[in-house]
Amino acid sequence: MPIVELSGIRKTYGRGGFFRKQERFTVLRNVDLSLRAGECLGLVGRSGSGKSTLGRIMLGLESPDAGSVKILGQDVTGCTRLPEHIRRAVQVVFQDAIGSTNPRMTAGEIIAEPLRNFDKLQGTALRERVAELLELVGLSPDDAGKLPGRFSGGQLQRICIARALAPSPQVIVLDEAVSSLDMLIQAHILDLLDSLRRRYGTAYLFVTHDLRLVRRFCDRAFFMSDGNLHAFDPAKTVDMKGSKVLEELFNAILPPMPDAARRQGNSGESVAV
Ligand SMILES: Nc1ncnc2c1ncn2[C@@H]1O[C@H](COP(=O)(O)OP(=O)(O)O)[C@@H](O)[C@H]1O
Ligand SMILES: [Mg+2]
């Protein structure tokens, strides 16, 4: 049984404002996706192509306009509050570590929150588990007492990763979660995630713009364009010279050439991928 199963997912948002007539635009057209235990699924695509939307739908944080979302075999489409065993099973790490941590909570409190909620841990058992998780992501147990402002962006991101690992989830959505880490730490975190999937069958949706990481870390991969998922072989992105798939793939992940951007009226700003 897949841990997460999406079928026929469609999502539209309204564009326009108070004075102009709202128009709908479609972010996801008809997306089918299933994620099994121990699987790592890579997802690439231009900024704005709908990767995070798909991630949020997969986490049950947002409802699709059509289609169904099943998590651990249970249909949770349109659920406003997910059952506790599902909330625990599906965790997420966003790219924005600062925005996803409370500046007034210490690192230890941030990591302790899911342990208190889901495992009812307290006292020494709680402190020991927090220390263990800090060490797992390459930080020190002494860091538990520090506030987020004392950490670098990469360190804070590791605290978010420790918080996601805390409830021993079955799926983690990593939404550009390792992009801000330097290469050594990135390698350390990816090794850690790899060992968790071998040991416990943890599955990942790995959203990134780095094809090397997809190649190194993912079993299957998709690029998102025009609201659809297109599969590609993560191992073959290098041997596909001249291939239509590779061309589309690069079109999906690279920003437009400066010339093309100017023609589109984009005044030379860089386009985040
Ligand atoms: N809550 C929302 N309301 C309106 N538009 C949204 C909302 N969330 C995302 N969008 C729009 O949907 C599109 C896809 O966004 P997103 O899923 O964040 O893309 P990606 O993660 O690939 O950059 C973008 O055009 C974005 O502006
Ligand atoms: Mg995104």
Indicate which CATH number applies to the domain containing 66. 3.40.50.300
Strand 171-175 relative to strand 228-232: parallel, antiparallel, unpaired?
unpaired
**Could you tell me the distance, in angstroms and rounded to a whole number, from the CA of residue 50 to the centre of ligand 2?**
7
pLDDT of residue 273: 39
Say which amino acid occupies 104: R
Q: Ligand 1 atom closest to Cα of 47? A: 23
Q: Residue 83: what pLDDT?
A: 94
Output DSSP code: residue 69.
E
Q: What is the pTM of this model?
A: 0.87
Atom of ligand 1 minimally distant from the CA of 50: 17
Is 188 part of a structural domain of the chain? Answer: yes
The span from the CA of 223 to the CA of 243, in Å, is 15
- Amino acid in the structure at residue 248: E
In the three-class reduction of DSSP (H, G, I as helix; E, B as strand; rest coil), residue 234 is classed as: helix
- pLDDT of amino acid 245: 63
Measured from CB, residues less than 6 Å from any atom of ligand 1 are 13, 27, 45, 47-53
Q: Quick one: pLDDT at residue 233?
A: 87
In a domain, 269, yes or no: no
Best of 25, 44, 49, 53 to mutate for ligand 1, by most ligand atoms within 8 A of CB? 53
Q: Whose CA is nearest to atom 2 of ligand 1?
A: 13
- Specify the long-range contacts of residues 134-140, CB closer than 8 Å, at least 24 apart: 134/107, 134/108, 134/159, 134/162, 136/162, 136/165, 136/192, 137/161, 137/162, 137/165, 137/189, 137/192, 138/185, 138/188, 138/189, 139/107
Inside any domain, residue 69:
yes
Q: Is residue 202 part of a domain?
A: yes
Please state, in angstroms and rounded to a whole number, the distance separating the CA atoms of residues 165 and 135: 12
Query: To test the ligand 1 pocket, which listed residue (9, 12, 13, 62) has its Cβ within 8 A of the most ligand atoms?
Result: 13
E strands in 16-65: 23-35, 40-44
Nearest CA to ligand 1 atom 20: 48
Residue from 92, 104, 57 nearest 76 by CA = 57
Point out which residues pair with 68 in neighbouring strands.
7
* Neighbouring residues of the ion ligand 2, judged by CB less than 5 Å: 52
Number of C-alpha atoms within 13 angstroms, CB side, residue 25? 9
Token pair, residue 158, equals 């590791």
Strands (E), 115-258: 171-175, 203-207, 220-225, 228-232
d(CA 207, CA 51) in angstroms, rounded, equals 7
271 belongs to a structural domain: no
- For residue 218, the enclosing domain spans 4-263
> Which residue type, as a one-letter code, is found at position 243?
S
CA of 47 to the centre of ligand 2 (A): 7
Output the CA 125–ligand 1 centroid distance in Å. Answer: 41
In a domain, 241, yes or no: yes
Q: How does DSSP classify residue 244? A: H
DSSP, collapsed to helix, strand or coil, labels residue 12 as strand
Mutate-to-test residue for ligand 1 from 12, 23, 24, 27, highest number of ligand atoms within 8 A of CB: 27
**pLDDT of amino acid 272:** 40
For the CA of 55, the nearest atom of ligand 1: 17
Q: Determine, yes or no, domain membership for 195.
A: yes
Ligand 2 midpoint to CA 95 (Å): 8
CA dist 92 and 54 (Å) reads 12
Element (H, E) at 161: helix 153-165
Rounded distance from Cα 53 to ligand 1 centre (Å): 6
Average pLDDT, consecutive stretches of 10 residues, N- to C-terminus, the chain (273 residues) = 95 79 87 96 92 94 95 92 94 93 98 97 97 95 97 94 96 93 89 91 93 90 91 74 63 60 46 39
| Total number of domains in the chain | 1
Residue 272 lies in a domain: no
Using alpha carbons, select from 39, 59, 43 the residue that is nearest to residue 51: 43
